[in-house]
Amino acid sequence: MESPDPMLPETTRPGRVTLRVNDLDRLVAFYRDVVGLTVLECDEDRATLGSDEPLLELIADPDASERRREETGLFHVAFRVPSREALGEALERVRERWRLEGASDHLVSEALYLADPEGNGVEIYRDRPRSEWPIDEDGGVEMETLALDTEALAALGRGRGTAPDGTTVGHVHLEVSSLPAARAFYVDALGLRVRQEWGDSALFVAAGDYHHHVGLNAWNGRTVPSTGRGLAWFELLVPDRGALEAIRGRLEGADVEVDGKDVGLELADPDGIELRLRAESADPKPW
């Protein structure tokens, strides 16, 4: 199951996710009051939210069309909180201020699911200790979708209105048109490791031994790139400039078009979904 010669350093992780939105004020309020992110910067065209680091950027585009049923793009962005108590507090906020669409025990994690006011999928989750993650005979991680005891979780909440420091983007889950093409890009070219594979319908890949940093699915038969609102780009953070240069060389060797910037690399997957690679220490402003 594991891909040979993984390229990405094991400390690679998701950085920011950027969404194009019609109603900036409404989306800022949702991610602040329901998800619990802190507004770090905001003007009439753009907002940045996060915890102790930037996690989400919202770009105002009032004319962007609603995502069509056949378009690829974001399935959900997953915000990882550092404790079960923090997840209980997130559940309190969702119940008081929004609508919970699902709650699952994935063996490696416990997760809440909802959608923002413009239909972008959102997951809020906490990881179980890695020592408890089930590992299969091939070294892959085993994940399931089981019922989550939300009442026991809610009992842990203490009314905290914001997500605590240590909240991150744990993973980004994408809807793609072709799982083989996505695998060729994210695994063979970029160098993420396969951590679990659900037949010909879904693939979960990561740097190192995390359960997944990127989820890929073909469940809904998406066929064309997104042209309207929704995911603009997402970011993977690597340790340093040396890692970036190694990544660039491998991608170019795989005939992947890469645009080098002062801050990092820009590229697009086979569905036109934009990915940006940045060194942890680089100032993100020049994007």
pLDDT of residue 189: 96
List the chain domain ranges. Answer: 13-279
CA dist., res. 50 & res. 56, Å (int)? 6
pLDDT of residue 1: 42
User: Which superfamily does CATH assign the domain made up of 13-279 to?
Assistant: 2,3-Dihydroxybiphenyl 1,2-Dioxygenase, domain 1 (3.10.180.10)
By three-state DSSP, how is residue 144 classified? Answer: coil
Query: pLDDT tens for residues 92-134?
Result: 999 999 999 999 999 999 999 999 999 999 999 999 999 999 9
Q: What share of the chain is helix, strand, coil (3-state, %, to 5)?
A: 20, 35, 45
pTM for the model stands at 0.96
pLDDT of residue 3: 43
Q: Which residues contact 281 (CB under 8 A, 6 or more apart)?
A: 240
CA distances from 251 to 82, 188, 190 (A): 33, 9, 6
CA distances from 7 to 204, 264, 271, 279, 284 (A): 17, 16, 22, 15, 23
* Contact (Cβ atoms closer than 8 angstroms) between residue 59 and residue 19: yes
Tokens of 165: 């420091």
How large a percentage of the chain has pLDDT more than 70?
98
Dihedral pair phi/psi, residue 250, rounded to 5°: -70, -40
Q: In which region does residue 166 sit, left (phi positive, over 0), alpha (psi from -120 to 50) or beta (all else)?
A: left
Q: Which residues of the chain have pLDDT under 70?
A: 1-6, 286
Q: Give Rg (Cα) of the chain.
A: 18
